[in-house]
Amino acid sequence: AQKVTQAQTEISVVEKEDVTLDCVYETRDTTYYLFWYKQPPSGELVFLIRRNSFDEQNEISGRYSWNFQKSTSSFNFTITASQVVDSAVYFCALSETDYKLSFGAGTTVTVRA
Amino acid sequence: EAQVTQNPRYLITVTGKKLTVTCSQNMNHEYMSWYRQDPGLGLRQIYYSMNVEVTDKGDVPEGYKVSRKEKRNFPLILESPSPNQTSLYFCASSWRTGGNSPLHFGNGTRLTVT
């Protein structure tokens, strides 16, 4: 069974629009970690954020914000006022106590000028 | 500069010809891991290592081998490559076992098996 589901395969927006990427996870562990990674067209994978299961505070970093809700097992990512440089594939990932890291299938974001 | 270095970046080979993709990190990280990336499937873990001489299977280990004889190196070995192993491969490392430390990724190796 897929542990991390990113239901949106592709999202296309016009510059300055907001875009929200959904991530739903599945785990029986009480201690776990959630991550978001970005893969720009150049192909490298870049760490964006880590959240542990005990910290449900939302986080904002510049134009990026994350909404973690344990009640719905979701860890959604919003880009505010999108820019062309935000065009990338974004991956949500879950790490459980067995030390494996499970990635979602990724959401491709295209920001048009 | 702290980095994870994979080589080669691109590799084209034929079915059955053994190959090794090297991975080295200079951050003294304990945890290292290999992933393959395929369209629509995201990244899937092949093998991981929590320290020297400690390795374990990920979700898709069939057809692959690894070794961790030194802390900095974690090569991926394909003893008899097949076309279904055509993929984009990433090596990654982190300070501790993958749970609570973000991964540092190499730049990827695009493998084509004909």
Per-residue pLDDT tens for B75-101?
999 999 999 999 999 999 988 765 667
CA–CA dist B89, B59 (Å, integer): 14
In this predicted structure, the answer to whether residue B23 has a pLDDT above a threshold of 60 is yes
Residue whose token pair is 């393959």: B36
In this predicted structure, the answer to whether residue B69 has a pLDDT above a threshold of 90 is yes
Distances (CA, A) of B32 to A42, A69, A87, B25, B102: 23, 30, 28, 9, 11
In this predicted structure, the answer to whether residue A99 has a pLDDT above a threshold of 90 is no
Name B83's Cβ contacts closer than 8 Å, sequence gap at least 6: B15, B113, B114
A9 touches B at CB < 8 Å: yes
In this predicted structure, the answer to whether residue A22 has a pLDDT above a threshold of 90 is yes
Half-sphere exposure (CA, 13 Å, Cβ side) for A68?
Answer: 20
pLDDT of residue B97: 61
pLDDT of residue A57: 80
The CA distance from B36 to the nearest CA of chain A, in Å, is 11
Task: Out of B31, B42, B107, name the one closest to residue A91 (CB).
Answer: B42
Give the β-pairing of A46-52 and A33-39.
antiparallel
In this predicted structure, the answer to whether residue B26 has a pLDDT above a threshold of 60 is yes
Are B99 and A104 an interchain contact pair (Cβ–Cβ within 8 Å)?
Answer: no
Are B112 and B86 in contact by the 8 Å Cβ rule? The answer is yes
